């Protein structure tokens, strides 16, 4: 985890967003389930969420985010060596990274999907770094994207108020080991807690010939035990960030920006408080996008960059957490000039 162990470092050189055209407000939800704008806002911090409309897909919003990130980095698609798509909701269960690769013209890249739910972008960032640090690849396009509206039970008030669709992307390039911008990281998972957040398969036995049976079915809508997930996040996220900061030889006092998975404003506030970070140092766009799973961190990162909040040299403590359960943190030093 220390950059002196590697022959190359990494730097994020561009970011982009893929935002669907549909909008679903709290007032709209109040027409669907027993809720209100005040009830949702006070409990989650969410005011609206974006939904993919007709003609849009994971591929379209992922490609949009990719194009923006490439343009900012001034990197041509054919220069990309590796494309990683962090998602839990591909257009094709076999994977959607290759379809985005084709859509943007990254013809020389190898592409694959990575599934770690809401932690996907952080896991993808660490994976990208390893390919670059070992010298295997020079330029990586990392996309975090999800279309959770496909898997929401819109009659379930406890979950339908939370989730939206969206994509974010970054270009990651090789630099010298001395200038490595991934300063430290820590990744975790615990399958014993998987029952708290699921998008599970449900099947039944079907006889195909004589006594030979197969199990066929479909995936069920998202189910979540909100109180358990909240307690998990508030306990584990500050801990994993502290460990990543330790690997980076830093403390929370060195952090300029806290960038968490955009799940619930109360979770973000509680984590910031435990790390003794003031609210003005927390990056949040939850109110406008809701929980976009693997898309949430890169979406918020790109929005903050384009708004001029991020300055070269800023220390950003990122942390994703979600289904699996998985959680992790990456400490990044920003370097893109505004």
φ, ψ (nearest 5 deg) of residue 95 = 125, 150
Q: Say what percent of the chain tops pLDDT 70.
A: 98
Please identify, in words, the CATH class of the domain defined by 182-192+223-333: alpha beta
pLDDT, tens digit, 9 for 90 and up, residues 275-284: 999 999 999 9
- 3-state SS of 93-138? CCCCHHHHHHHHCCCCCEEEEECCHHHHHHHHHHHHHHHHHCCCCC
d(C-alpha 167, C-alpha 64), whole Å: 8
pLDDT, tens digit, 9 for 90 and up, residues 193-251: 999 999 999 999 999 998 899 999 999 999 999 999 999 999 999 999 999 999 999 99
Every domain of the chain and the residues it spans: 3-179, 182-192+223-333
Q: Which residues are catalytic?
A: 118, 261, 291
> Coil, strand or helix: which one is 234?
helix
According to DSSP, the β-strands at 82-86 and 139-147 are parallel
> Coil, strand or helix: which one is 148?
helix
pLDDT, tens digit, 9 for 90 and up, residues 49-103: 999 999 999 999 999 999 999 999 999 999 999 999 999 999 999 999 999 999 9
DSSP letters of 235-284? Answer: HHHHHHHHHHHHHTT--GGG-SEEEE-SS-HHHHHHHHHHTT--GGGB--
The answer to whether 20 and 52 are in contact (CB under 8 A) is yes
CA-CA-CA-CA torsion for 321, 280, 308, 17, nearest 10 degrees? 30
**CATH assignment of 3-179?**
3.40.47.10
Number of H helices, E strands in the chain: 10, 15
Q: What is this structure's pTM?
A: 0.95
Beta bridge partners of 20: none
């Amino acid at each position: 985890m220390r950059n002196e162990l590697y022959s190359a470092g990494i730097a994020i050189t561009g970011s982009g967003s893929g935002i669907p055209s549909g909008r679903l407000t709290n007032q709209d939800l109040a027409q669907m389930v027993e809720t209100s704008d005040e009830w949702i806002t006070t409990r989650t911090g969410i005011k609206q969420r974006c939904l993919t409309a007709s003609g849009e897909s994971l591929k379209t919003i992922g490609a949009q985010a990719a194009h923006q990130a490439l343009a900012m980095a001034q990197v041509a698609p054919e220069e990309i060596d590796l494309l990683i798509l962090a998602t839990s909701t591909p257009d094709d269960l076999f994977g959607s990274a290759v379809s985005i690769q084709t859509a943007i013209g990254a013809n020389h890249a190898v592409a694959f999907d990575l599934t770690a739910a809401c932690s996907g972008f952080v896991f993808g960032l660490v994976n990208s770094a390893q390919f670059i640090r070992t010298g295997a690849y020079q330029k990586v396009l990392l996309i975090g994207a999800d279309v959770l509206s496909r898997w929401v039970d819109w009659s379930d008030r406890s979950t339908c108020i939370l989730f939206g669709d969206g994509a974010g992307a970054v270009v990651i390039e090789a630099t010298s080991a001395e200038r490595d911008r991934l300063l430290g990281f820590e990744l975790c998972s615990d399958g014993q807690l998987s029952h708290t957040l699921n998008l599970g398969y449900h099947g039944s036995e079907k006889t195909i010939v004589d006594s030979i049976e197969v199990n066929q079915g479909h995936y069920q809508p998202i189910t979540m035990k909100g109180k358990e997930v909240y307690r998990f996040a508030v306990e584990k996220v500050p801990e994993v960030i502290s460990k990543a900061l330790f690997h980076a030889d830093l403390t929370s006092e060195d952090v300029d920006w806290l960038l968490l998975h955009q799940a619930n404003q109360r979770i973000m506030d509680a984590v910031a408080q435990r790390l003794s970070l003031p609210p003005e140092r927390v990056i949040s766009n939850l109110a406008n996008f809701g929980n976009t799973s693997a898309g949430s961190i890169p979406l918020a990162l790109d929005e903050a960059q384009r708004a001029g909040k991020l300055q070269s040299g800023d220390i950003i403590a990122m942390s994703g957490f979600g289904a699996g359960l998985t959680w992790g943190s990456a400490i990044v030093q920003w370097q893109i000039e505004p």
